[in-house]
Amino acid sequence: MSTAPVAVITGAGRRLGYEVSLALVERGYRVFALHRTHTDEIDFLIGQGVTALQVDLADPDAVQARIDDIVRDTTSVSLLVNNASTFETDAQDPRQRPAQAARLFQINSTAPMQLMHGLGPALETAARACGRPSLIVNITDIFTERPNPQYGAYCASKAALANLTLSYAALLAPDVRVNAIMPGPIGFLPRHTDSQKRQVLSETLLAREGGFHSVVMQLLALVDNDFITGAQIPVDGGRRLAQGMARHGQGSPD
């Protein structure tokens, strides 16, 4: 029977979730990779011994079914990374906004809450077996502190996850630590124009993309340092500070 520590990662089929999965495989973890869409990256992870589980986080029953699958397979989970999210502007039609907000909250905050609660006993079991706390890392956003009004529902859903991080840090202590990483501009999407990229980087003190590795390194640091819980750690190159200075006339977005 394998004695490797177990990690569960959502949104593992692409971008940050994929890079986190690879890093944990390299560290000797047995990884459960939750994904919505099957990708070439998922095929590669499967080739590395990862267990891939398809799930639509917008469906609470599907989330619960995957929790049940995991706890049937293992009674011990050392690490949960709630990485998956959906990001979109608020609907133009106000009549569509309640349904949009409900979906964003389900994916970005309620599903992570389901996973934290449902895997809580397995996280506690792992902690007691190895003599050090297990870990949950929630990927939130710097917009939890400075919301963008064009993305009101998204920002609110990530703020809810930030608050849940604090609640579950208290609820699951001392056996489980719960922290959040707040990314800034770590990896532009293909749809971003050159103008949009310049605008974002002009609002970032370090004036460059961080790359997915910047978040992976912070996550691994949280794995290694078992005296941190309830923390909300920005990995944003100082963007939240530059935005604040611009709003107070101390900087310029140009």
Concerning whether 18 is annotated as a catalytic residue, the answer is no
Q: Choosing from 18, 151, 154, 168, which is the catalytic residue? A: 154
3-state secondary structure the chain: CCCCCEEEEECCCCHHHHHHHHHHHHCCCEEEEEECCCCHHHHHHHHCCCEEEECCCCCHHHHHHHHHHHHHHCCCCCEEEECCCCCCCCCCCHHHHHHHHHHHHHHHHHHHHHHHHHCHHHHHHHHHHHCCCEEEEEECCHHHCCCCHHHHHHHHHHHHHHHHHHHHHHHHCCCEEEEEEEECCCCCCCCCCHHHHHHHHHCCCCCCCCCHHHHHHHHHHHHHCCCCCCCEEEECCCHHHHHHHHHCCCCCCC
The CA distance from 151 to 31, in Å, is 32
Nearest to 204 by CA among 235, 236, 239, 234: 239
Active site residues: 154
